[in-house]
């Protein structure tokens, strides 16, 4: 693999090795281990609920702990209400070097609320959310999405253009559809 520096917005990463966000895995101790042994250019928090941040939920506040960690750290938030996403962005921006929006989570309990990968089926809402998040922070905003909802609805390019026009600085695409979850076909 060719290792090189990477610039996201005005933030320069020392390399292009990124620790992917993983719910239930990329907590602070895990990030510290990765920071120590692989020296990634960027690490991500687990996904944080914008609603939980908005309502000051204690468990979610604990997930924001980055004490003793190396920077930069991207904070990933999820949700589908642009205003709540904007407020959550203001909260995480105090600690985050990048604010990342989750548009890829396939979990039924997430998509049933219109969050995560469900957003891929709602381009207008994607635009509103990204614009609101960009407006609410001076940190670079990024989006992590899937290639589409299912094989009949592959729309990553359409959504990526909307995200770019709305002011995001980078996009990560998980090369599976929502219906593929985490299966081997990628």
Ligand X SMILES: Cc1cc2nc3c(=O)[nH]c(=O)nc-3n(C[C@H](O)[C@H](O)[C@H](O)COP(=O)(O)O)c2cc1C
Burial class (CB in 10 A: 0-12, 13-18, 19+), 152: exposed
- Burial tier of 112 (Cβ tally within 10 Å: 0-12, 13-18, 19+): exposed
Helices (H) and strands (E) in the chain, counts: 7, 9
Two tokens, residue 25 = 């895995």
Among the listed ranges 4-12, 17-25, 58-66, 149-157, the one in contact with ligand X (CB under 6 A) is 17-25
Site for ligand X in 133-162 (CB under 6 A): 144
Q: Which letter does DSSP use for residue 162 in this model?
A: H
Rounded to a whole number of angstroms, the minimum distance from the CB of residue 115 to ligand X is 11
Q: Given 11, 77, 105, 156, which residue is catalytic?
A: 105
Residue 85, both tokens: 């996403």
Q: How far is the CB of 152 from ligand X (least distance, A)?
A: 21
Site string for ligand X, 89-128 (x = CB under 6 A): -------------x-xx-----------------------
| Residues making contact with ligand X (CB under 6 A) | 20-23, 25, 46-47, 76, 102, 104-105, 144, 174, 182, 186
């Amino acid at each position: 693999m060719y290792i090189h520096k990477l610039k996201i917005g005005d933030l320069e990463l020392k390399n292009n090795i990124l620790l992917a966000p993983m719910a239930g895995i990329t907590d602070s101790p895990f990030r510290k281990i990765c920071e120590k042994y692989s020296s990634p250019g960027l690490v991500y928090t687990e996904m944080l609920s914008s609603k939980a941040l908005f309502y000051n939920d204690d468990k979610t506040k604990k997930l924001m702990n980055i004490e003793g960690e190396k920077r930069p750290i991207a904070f990933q938030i999820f949700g589908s209400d642009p205003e709540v996403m904007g407020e959550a962005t203001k909260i995480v921006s105090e600690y985050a070097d990048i604010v990342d929006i989750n548009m890829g989570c396939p979990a039924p309990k997430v998509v049933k609320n219109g969050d995560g990968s469900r957003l891929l089926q709602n381009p207008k809402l994607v635009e509103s959310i990204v614009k609101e998040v960009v407006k609410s922070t001076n940190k670079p905003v990024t989006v992590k999405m899937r290639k589409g909802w299912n094989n009949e609805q592959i729309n990553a390019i359409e959504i990526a253009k909307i995200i770019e026009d709305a002011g995001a600085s980078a996009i990560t695409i998980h090369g599976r559809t929502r219906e593929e979850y985490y299966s081997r076909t990628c």
